[in-house]
Amino acid sequence: MLAEEIKSINCNKLTNSNIGFSIKKTSDFFAQSNLPLYPHRHNYFMIFFNKDGYGKHIIDFKEQEITPQSITCMRNYQVHQWTDFKNLKGYIVFFETDFFNLNYQNNQLSEFFFLTYQNPNSVHQIPLRNFTKYFNILKMMELEYKCKFQDYDKTLRFFLNILLIKLNRVFDTVSIHENKQSIQIINQFQRKIDLHFKEKHLLKHYADELKVSASSLNAICKKTLKKSASELIKDRILLEAKRLLLYEEKNISEIAYYLGFEDNSYFTKFFRKYENQTPINFKKSFQELDT
């Protein structure tokens, strides 16, 4: 059953924490009574370290299998739903952007490309010997979080930064040899897309804000991400359109208006051009899979 609006889950409310961070054993997390089993968004990032057991969940209308010795990374505001989770054993780490940034003003989360919407791989398998190293860090994080030693929040940020750096190596989404200035521009570009994709559809708007030429921005994106700058804007609009089509009770006109299109016919043409089907047919195809 579709909702009028996709529900957004707040980190502090779900985890009973007031610092924008939590770490839980999966057995404790899945046993809690307020676990959302319906499609929902997070205002936080979630990293799931599964040591043993098999399960399934859906991330942005794609079913993902959870297997032993796997790491699943979810960025904030993705649409997510748990479907099979009873046999999973491991840790789940939750954190908000502000929690990380408080001590790392010069190290932005967007620098970790595996946490951006451009990363196609949300799951990664790793050898047992490497997985054990992660678990050692997670156990120390859990102890700090539960015991709340002096400056425990600073210690948790330190451990979190180590985890993210190590995960960046594992997911390896962008070559470390890329020009740092180019990466910084792309990070800024993606942040602005996330903020303004509903009202700003043209590359010129973003290039002007970033104080670079449209051609330069396009060249940087193509070299680093193998996609044009316009494609990044288009991909973000399409992603949100699909979320709204599948998980909210909005009609095509309402979705078109929400995404900044002049009318529903223009939105339908845009959607069909890149998805090879109309928004209605896209929605029907997923409904048929559920029956």
CATH number of the domain to which 112 belongs? 2.60.120.280
Half-sphere exposure of residue 132, counting CA atoms within 13 Å on the CB side? 3
Contact between residue 50 and residue 66 where contact means Cβ atoms under 8 Å apart: yes
Tell me what percent of the residues of the chain surpass a pLDDT of 70.
90
pLDDT (tens digit, 9 = 90+) per residue, 53-63? Answer: 999 999 988 88
- Name the strand (E) or helix (H) holding 229: helix 229-247
Name the residue with higher pLDDT: 239 or 187: 239
pLDDT given at position 241: 95
Of 109, 139, 171, which residue constitutes the final position of a domain?
171
| Residues with Cβ within 8 Å of residue 184, at least 6 apart in sequence | none
pLDDT given at position 176: 46
- Give how many domains the chain has, as a whole number: 2
Is residue 30 included in any domain, yes or no?
yes
pLDDT given at position 117: 64
Residues 14 and 117 in one domain: yes
pLDDT given at position 2: 53
Of 142, 171, 200, which residue constitutes the final position of a domain?
171
pLDDT (tens digit, 9 = 90+) per residue, 4-45? Answer: 678 888 887 777 778 899 999 999 999 887 788 888 988 899
Residues 85 and 195 in one domain: no
Residues 107 and 86 in one domain: yes
Is residue 2 included in any domain, yes or no?
no
pLDDT (tens digit, 9 = 90+) per residue, 249-291? Answer: 899 999 999 999 988 999 999 999 999 999 999 998 877 655 4
Residues 61 and 195 in one domain: no
180-196 helix and 214-225 helix, angle to the nearest 10 degrees:
110
pLDDT given at position 129: 83
Is residue 184 included in any domain, yes or no?
yes
Tell me what percent of the residues of the chain surpass a pLDDT of 90.
52
Work out the average pLDDT over 84-97: 92
Give the whole-angstrom CA distance, residue 112 versus residue 223: 18
Residues 74 and 123 in one domain: yes
pLDDT given at position 103: 63
In order, the DSSP letters of 5-24 are S-EEE-HHHHHT-SSSEEEE
Residues 231 and 109 in one domain: no
Q: What is the mean pLDDT of the chain?
A: 87
pLDDT given at position 173: 53
Is residue 209 included in any domain, yes or no?
yes
Give yes or no for residue 107 having a pLDDT over 60. Answer: no
Give residue for tokens 């954190």. Answer: 95
- Name the strand (E) or helix (H) holding 51: strand 45-52
Is residue 35 included in any domain, yes or no?
yes
Residues 203 and 74 in one domain: no
pLDDT given at position 102: 72
Residues 103 and 196 in one domain: no
Of 171, 206, 241, which residue constitutes the final position of a domain?
171
Residues 29 and 112 in one domain: yes
Is residue 158 included in any domain, yes or no?
yes
Integer CA distances (angstroms), 252 to 146, 211, 227, 259, in order: 47, 35, 28, 11
Q: Domain residues for 193? A: 180-290
Residues 186 and 163 in one domain: no
